[in-house]
Amino acid sequence: MDGAAVDKCLADTKLQEAIVAGEAQAKDDYDVESTPTFFIIAANGVSTRLVGDLPYADFAKALNDAVPKS
């Protein structure tokens, strides 16, 4: 992205409003307080929330726990 594209993006008030609205919706609907925040949703609907700069092992465990056991 060149400087002109960055300036155009920063000047786009509709884009800014959409980003702020998305942030507010994430906070209201899912209690997202920071980035990164990830949700791993298992087949049975159980959700695991991962917040922050977490190690690979935390993601691997959440994903493995979400996979249905046969």
State pLDDT tens for residues 26-45: 999 999 999 899 999 998 99
Has residue 11 got a pLDDT over 80? Answer: yes
Domain count for the chain, please give it: 2
State pLDDT tens for residues 47-61: 999 999 999 999 999
On whether both 38 and 28 belong to a single domain, the answer is: no
Has residue 70 got a pLDDT over 90? Answer: no
Angle at 12 between CA 9 and CA 17, to 5 degrees: 115
Q: What percent of the chain has a predicted confidence (pLDDT) above 90?
A: 87
State how far the Cα of 52 lies from the Cα of 59, in Å rounded to an integer. 11
On whether both 25 and 39 belong to a single domain, the answer is: no
What does the block give as tokens for 27? 């906070």
On whether both 69 and 48 belong to a single domain, the answer is: yes
Residue-number span of the structural domain to which 62 is assigned: 34-70
